[in-house]
Amino acid sequence: MLEFKPITLEKAKELKKKLFSPTRFSCETNIVNLLVWQKMYDNMYAEDEGMLFIKSGGIEKETFRLPFGENIKRGIEKLCEYTGEEHPKLWVQQGERFEDFKLQFGEEYELIPERDAFDYIYLQEDLANLSGKKYHSKRNHISAFSKQYDWKFKEITAQDIPKVLECANEWYASNKERFDKYMECEKQGIELMLSNMELLDIKGGAIYIDEKIVAFTLGSPINCETFDIHIEKALPEYATAYTVINREFAKILTDYKYINREDDLGLEGLRKAKLSYKPYILLKKYAAVSKAERIKQIYHEAFGEEDNSFEDDLFNTCFEYCRYLEKDGRIVSVCFEFPCVLNGSPVKYIFAVTTAKEFRSNGYAKELIESLGKNGETLILRPVDSSLVQYYKSLGFCEFKATNQQSDFSLEPVGAFKELAQKYADDKGEFTAMYKSENPQNLNNLTFLYSLP
């Protein structure tokens, strides 16, 4: 069984060797990031069978990086043993092992892009030179700063650390109104990096004006080709210094081909700024969730209630009847196709048709419904809202009304669906007519739609 432990400074050097790889470019494979944000995200590690495992999120939001090692399948088996789950939640990114994961587990997991977490990766020469029309405004900012201030850039050494800390403290003081747990962790991270520059292989740079540091940056290598920028701060009254220190620091990173400036946290201003530097690569990251879990999420978004009893019973007993439509590896629309018998003939009862909110208004529900009944069964459904009647009619369904006087109407559920329909016949309007012979009063002039094969 895996035994996860907190990532510590003492263990950092050893773990770095295991994470350091020419095919890993994500800031999340940098031991410095894992260490700095350890308390914020509860980053922990485990080692077993020559593999390294990283998890974050604590118990409630427990998520695992893809196991670091040769055998992805065995690594995920170990995670399954640890969690007791068939499909533990994973966090994956483009690069090493990504294609292998998709090949081996693509049928079981859906990869949901997490745009706020994409890494911005630039060519070192682009940031150092700022050549061409695309960087014209950046050069103008630096020119204006140079006309206004007599500044100098200096690579950070031990002698500069007290002044770097002064600058950091001043920056956080000026942002005290929005100081939160994230900023507190970031501030502690700066202190940790400055106190262990050699051990963590930290490089830094600072902009001086009149012997005062007004901007600074800190980073460390991800691999032999990629340098990671962890921190970049400029005092509010010297905001243009961000452009200056970005270029000046890039100039001294000549040993690296790429500079990773990490993600934008979903902050509009930060995204705009990072895009303005024209990234060479937007490194995509994904939440990998089991397809069953993703279908549950889509259902809950549309039909979820405070009491999840029905939802739990539906998925625990009748998931085999779930149908879904995929587009480019994403589940976009779902429904249930329950087996029933209508007046002695087999039919499929369509229930809970919905589309994931980010994919609505694309005709995916229509496409899903049209894909059903391929084996020649009649489809039948009961719209939960009268406004949907015309929509389903446009898909080829015809309308009929079941009444208390119709002695020939009999809609009987089959298989695992029978128990569910019995249990919720009084609570779910869609199921109230399932037992006409036993409860004729339940018909109550209900509207149904059917589509012949």
Residues 425-438 pLDDT 10s: 777 766 765 644 44
- Arithmetic mean of pLDDT, 143-164: 98
Tens-digit pLDDT profile for residues 50-94:
999 999 997 778 999 999 998 999 999 999 999 999 999 999 999
| Superfamily (CATH) of domain 119-280 | Gcn5-related N-acetyltransferase (GNAT) (3.40.630.30)
The pLDDT value recorded for residue 439 is 46
- Arithmetic mean of pLDDT, 389-401: 83
The pLDDT value recorded for residue 440 is 42
The pLDDT value recorded for residue 376 is 73
CATH fold for domain 304-451: Aminopeptidase (3.40.630)
pTM as predicted: 0.86
CATH class of 5-118: alpha beta
Every domain of the chain and the residues it spans:
5-118, 119-280, 304-451
Among 43-47, 132-136, 393-397, where is mean pLDDT lowest?
Answer: 393-397
Whether the domain at 5-118 and the domain at 304-451 fall into the same CATH topology = yes
The pLDDT value recorded for residue 390 is 86
- Arithmetic mean of pLDDT, 369-374: 83
Among 165-169, 293-297, 365-369, 430-434, where is mean pLDDT lowest?
Answer: 430-434
The pLDDT value recorded for residue 344 is 82
Q: Sorting pLDDT into bands at 50, 70 and 90, what band is 286?
A: very high
The pLDDT value recorded for residue 438 is 47
159 is written with which tokens? 């002698």
- Arithmetic mean of pLDDT, 237-255: 98
The pLDDT value recorded for residue 409 is 61
The pLDDT value recorded for residue 435 is 47
